[in-house]
Structure 1
Amino acid sequence: MKKIRYTLLCASMLVITSCVGDLDQVPHNETTSATVYAEAANYKAVLGKLYTSFVTTGQEKAGGNADLSSNTGQDYMRCYFNLQQCGTDELASTWLEGDKVRDLTYLSWDANDPWVADMYYRIFYTVALCNEFLRHASDDQISRFTEAEQTNIRQYRAEARFIRALVYSHALDFYGNLPFVTEADPVGKFIPPRYEAAQVFAFIESELKAIESELPDKGSCEYGRAPQAAAWALLARLYLNANVYTRTDRYTDCITYCNKVINAGYSIESDYRKLFNADNHKRTNEILFSLPVDALHTVTWGATTYIVCGQVSNTSDFQKPETYGVVSGWGMFRARGELPALFDANDRRALFFTEGQTQHVDVIDNQANGYFVEKWTNLTDAGTAASNTVDGGVNTDYPLFRLADVYLMLAESVARGGAGSTTAAAIGYLNQLRQRAFGDQYETSGKLKEADLTKEFILDERGRELYWEGVRRTDLIRYNKFTTAAYVWQWKGGTKEGRAVDAKYNRYPIPATDLTANPNLKNENY
């Protein structure tokens, strides 16, 4: 299956700069909306820009002709990875000062943190792109096209609403109470109102339910675009974390949407490693929705390039970059000692390079402290490098939703008292993951019994299955362990032994620049 390749006709139709309160700006260059939306064929090109906004930063290779100014100049998924992983028990950053991640690592950021701000503006840049697209995709706007063209655009419209719901879900998870804007709001000097987290939750839920029947099913969805199962998985994730966002449990609803995914014809990939290599676009049996990364057509220095190159040392005498299909390592990060401690000796998901490394991190920015992670690679199925990573980054796509995560969400919801499935069914799904993980050792050391289905076990199993996939911070918050003394890890709170921190760090603050621009906004506790 080929990776989707979009022609980005909408090159720089819409620009957002920081320090603006009106998050939807009109076009400010010669390529106007009227020109772009004059032809039905151009709508798919614009849709392509919505998808690639997650992994690119501009209209040219290496981020040239930037989409928006920012503190770091990095893409959406590099920001997302740092905000979800840096402060957790899964990752130790090397370049605390050079990459400006000290405060993320120590859970000590404020409203001026560059990564916190860049994530915020990347989110609302994509929201603005979606809103602009949707303004031009209404039934009235597209009535001049043929019936076939209108049918296509209506599907594109559903995909744009999915993408907007996805980024609003990230905003909800990171920031809680938000400025809120849709295509129905005026363009220009509009100051968005502040929505409480429960209002944002309700909007995302209603949007996903409204479009689920309009998205293509598994068999008819072009790779790199959102199928129905992506919307169902996002709803399941929303419901799993509903108590955090709205103080109301929705575990039964989580199970309902997990079951929709499970019944849609997906299956577990037999080789865990192949989910994270340069041929992972072939794993549509398990991967529900990915962000394509391509060293020729969708070059990024963030997203999976950041992870693959970042997990390889640039000082080790033992680790060889070519083993992972990269020309050189960046030495960005390693695993904190608590992550490898989760694994049984027979668990094949424990993909760590240990030679010359200590397990625990006595000095957090010392590359010899902490195992290197080997989960992600730029290798093809044949074991060859898929691209020249110095010239074009990696060829490995970023899986946003996997069937394995759906199994784990269902199992946790059952353990938390949700209806619609059983302990026996949940253990059956988990044992599919365990059988893959333990291979011929499954019967002796991997197989689970119904008594094993506890909330604590699920949290650890999520760590084993989903580490470095951008969910750990959210998981720890849901378990009330991210900021509290209920679980400490090395360097949590800035001390080697780890310590609890203020509960305000369960959310990131709205950037100070937007507080100045929008009087409707405020930060609690910052």
Structure 2
Amino acid sequence: MKRLFKYSLIVCLGFSMAACTDLEEDLVGDITEDIVVEGINIGGPGSSDGALTALYGELRNAGTANHGGYYSIQEITTDEMFIGAKGGDWFDGGDLIRLHQHTYTPNHPFINGTWVQTYNAIATANDNLGSGNLSDAEVAQARAVRAYFYWRLLDSYGRVKLATETNQDPPQASRQEVFNFVESELLAALGISEVSESMDLSNSQLADGGSAYSMNRYGAMGILAKLYLNAEVYTGTPMYDKAEIAASYIIDSGQYVLCGEGCSVPNLGKRPRVDSDPAELEGYAAVFAANNEGNPEHIFSVRYDEATGAGMNFSQMNLHYSSQFTWNFQEQPWNGYATLEEFYNSYEDGDARKENNFIVGPQLDFSGSALLDYAADDDDIQLNYTPEINELAPNSLREAGARPAKFSYKQFGRSDMDNDFPIVRLGEVYLIRAEAVARQAGNWTAAEADVNVLRARAGVSEYNGNLTEEEFLAERGREMFQETARRTDLIRFGKYNDEWWEKPASEPYLNIFPIPQEQINAGGGLTQNPGY
């Protein structure tokens, strides 16, 4: 099998343990001859084959699972995660504190970076669609993927430009217009005029199932379900009935199943001499494992691969420097992202998601010996991740905060991870339907049937007539931790402006990020969102 490879070197000047947020790449050399590697297949939809390879690659390039862009502004603005300033380490000019405390401005580099990354992805889609080289099926995929990126912009910035052609500079659209565009593009890809009980998708050019790396009917329907679930926030008009129908279409299709008992993969992070490390990751843990490709719960996923699909850096972002010796990482972690104590404590003991999603307590190295931190800033030289956090700044303890581990780590891992990142998965679809049903009924106990399906997998007791709105939001947080859903959820539930640890109450205008000042200064008629 022949493959054409291009190699590039990422240059990060002034890099510190805090991280590198310079997204520029310098091409230093090309290998232009075909390379034949017998017995290795790295192809398939969304990887290195096909006319849409570059577009699916933009899902990685647009900040889905790394530091400095979309993932960061969706996570550390919420009550899920924070990055403590450890002296000068991770202070980063106060940018991370401003995200946590909702004091971000139009000049924030991550907010501008997210804008640039997302429009770069949209430009790739427009180039594909304008090439005249796509089949009808590829056109449908490209339109749906572009709609997904516009959904990110709709959710994050509200009023953006709807560029649908290469080198086009349209006027700034209203949030309603962006909503209408995202909806119409997804409906067109699905071959229907509206989502309804009687809809017939037989005319859709999207595949009826298949690889989670390619946009299929269920992936597009899942993004529509997210859109409709938040329609009242985006437009002022609730569309929970359509969210329910879209979610039910996916669930009732039988194409996907929850990864539960018997759904397992080998634990690539297991240390042979540490008995507490399981040999297999089963159920919820398998959904996010380093070898989670082909998981039956994945509907539309971003393909990450440490060699050919880089861009997921959670092991670097989350773990203490010394944790390099637990997993024999190729590079030393940066010791940044950690979990807020109250969020960690929202899980009850015995919840399989709590055990999977976090690393806490005294740490051991690969051989099972105590993992030492010779520069410890507490009284114990053994590395010990504590749920308790002393402060956000200026001297957050370097071992403070449970560490995110939902996307599990593997032995001898590189700085880029292998775990695929689900954009649409069946577990979330159950939650979308549950919430949509409850909101229409005006009764949160109506959500219990679907929520209890997930509770059963997690090994915790079912709700029985006692589910409330507050508890549903907490349950959604427990299931969807680290999947860039929390900011959107908090806004929909009217909680984003609440006070939480080291964050005062904030103003409602902050629910939409500012239009980056750099983009306004570039010309083209962009105007700022109200309040900034």
TM-score, normalised to structure 1, is: 0.75
Matched with 2:186 is: 208
Matches within 5 A, 1:46-195: 46-56=51-61, 78=67, 79-94=69-84, 96-98=90-92, 100-137=95-132, 153-183=135-165, 187-188=166-167, 190-195=168-173
Aligned to 1:342: 346
Partner of 1:66: none
- Give the Cα separation in 2 of the matches to 1:164 and 1:415: 31
Provide the residue aligned with 2:438 in structure 1. Answer: 415
SS at match of 1:350: helix
- The aligned counterpart of 1:513 is 518
Q: What is aligned with 2:319? A: 312
Change (3 A) 1:7 1:454: farther
CA deviation digits over 1:455-500, x for unaligned, max 9?
A: 22221111110111100000001111111xxx421022xxxxxx21
Residue in structure 1 matched with residue 279 of structure 2 by the alignment: none
Find the residue that maps to 2:205 and give its secondary structure: coil
Alignment equivalent of 1:272, drawn from 258, 263, 284: 284
What runs of 5+ residues in structure 1 fail to find an aligned partner? 12-42, 58-73, 143-149, 380-384, 493-498
- In the other structure, the counterpart of 1:361 is 389
The residue aligned with 1:288 is 299
**Is 2:402 aligned against 1:371?**
yes
1:396-442 superposed Cα distances (whole Å, 9 cap, x missing partner)? 111111111111111111111169x9966x4332222111111xxx4
Question: Aligned AA for 2:136?
Answer: R
The reply on whether 1:332 has 2:336 as its aligned counterpart is yes
Residue 413 to residue 314, structure 1, CA distance change in 2 (3 Å): same
> Which of 435, 452, 460 in structure 1 is aligned with 2:456?
435
Tell me, yes or no, if structure 1 residue 490 matches structure 2 residue 501.
Answer: yes
Compute the displacement of 1:321 (Å). 5.0
1-structure distance, mates of 2:50, 2:4:
5
Change (3 A) 1:245 1:6: farther
SS in 2 for 1:181: coil
Q: Structure 1 residue 389 and structure 2 residue 414: aligned?
A: yes
**SS of alignment partner, residue 231 of structure 1:** helix
Corresponding residue SS for 1:54: helix
- Give the letter aligned to residue 216 of structure 1: A
Question: Are 2:462 and 1:447 aligned?
Answer: yes
Q: State the secondary structure of the residue aligned to 1:130.
A: helix
CA shift for structure 1 position 107: 1.1
Matched residue type, 1:470: T
SS of the residue 2:52 aligns to: helix
Tell me which residue corresponds to 1:33. none
What CA distance in whole angstroms lies between the structure 1 residues aligned with 2:502 and 2:328? 28
Q: Quote the residue 2:487 is aligned against.
A: 473
Structure 1 position 519, deviation (Å): 4.5
- Cα deviations across residues 344-370 of structure 1 (Å, max 9, x unaligned)? 112111133222343232312432322
Deviation larger for 324-333 or 201-210: 324-333
Amino acid corresponding to residue 298 of structure 2 in structure 1: I
> For residue 135 of structure 1, what is the amino acid of its counterpart?
G
Q: Report how far residue 77 of structure 1 moved.
A: 5.4
Could you tell me how far 1:44 is from its partner in structure 2? 5.7
Q: CA deviation at 1:326?
A: 6.8
CA contact (8 A) 2:215 2:300 kept: yes
Contact 2:328–2:413, Cα closer than 8 Å, also in 1? no
Which amino acid letter does the alignment assign opposite residue 474 of structure 1?
Answer: T
Structure 1: distance between partners of 2:436 and 2:328: 36
Once the two structures are TM-superposed, the CA of residue 327 in structure 1 deviates from its matched residue by 5.4
Counterpart-to-counterpart distance in 2, 1:388 and 1:86: 25
Give the 3 Å change call, closer, same or farther, for CA 6–274 of structure 1 in structure 2.
farther
Q: Distance in 2 between matches of 1:272 and 1:75?
A: 21
Distance in 2 (alpha carbons) for counterparts of 1:418 and 1:194: 37
CA distance in 1, matches of 2:466, 2:5: 49
Aligned length: 424
Distance 1:158 1:167 in 2: 15
Conserved 8 A contact 1:254-1:413: yes
**Counterpart Cα distance in 1 of 2:359 and 2:450:** 29
Q: Sort the Cα spacing of 1:460 and 1:511 in 2 relative to 1 into closer, same or farther, 3 A.
A: same
Contact persistence 2:327–2:409 (CA under 8 A):
no
Inter-partner Cα distance in structure 2 for 1:331 and 1:321: 14
The 3 A distance-change label for structure 1 pair 418 and 217 is farther
* Cα distance, 1:93–1:111 mapped onto 2, change above 3 Å: same
- Mark the CA change 1:411 to 1:92 in structure 2 (over 3 Å): closer, same or farther: same
- The root-mean-square deviation of aligned C-alpha atoms, in Å, is 2.9
Cα 1:103–1:512 change in 2 (3 A) is same
CA contact (8 A) 2:259 2:284 kept: yes
The percent of aligned pairs where both chains have the same amino acid is 28
Indicate if the aligned counterparts of 1:334 and 1:367 stay in contact, CA closer than 8 A: no
Amino acid at match of 1:480: G
Q: Which runs of 5 or more structure 2 residues have no equivalent in the other structure?
A: 9-47, 191-203, 261-282, 362-383
Residues 167 and 321 of structure 1: CA distance in aligned 2, closer, same or farther (over 3 Å): farther
**CA apart distance, 1:161:** 0.5
Are the equivalent residues in 2 in contact too, given 1:233–1:261 (CA < 8 A)?
A: yes
Counterpart in 1 of 2:220? 231
- Cα contact 1:312–1:372 (8 A) shared by 2: yes
Q: Is the 8 A contact 1:8 1:46 kept in 2?
A: no
Amino acid at match of 2:397: N
Query: Bigger shift: 370-379 or 45-54?
Result: 370-379
Q: Distance in 1 between matches of 2:118 and 2:452?
A: 36
User: For residues 432 and 287 of structure 2, what CA distance do their matches in structure 1 show?
Assistant: 19
Partner of 1:461: 475
**Aligned counterparts of 2:343 and 2:421: Cα–Cα separation in 1:** 21
Shift of 1:312: 1.6
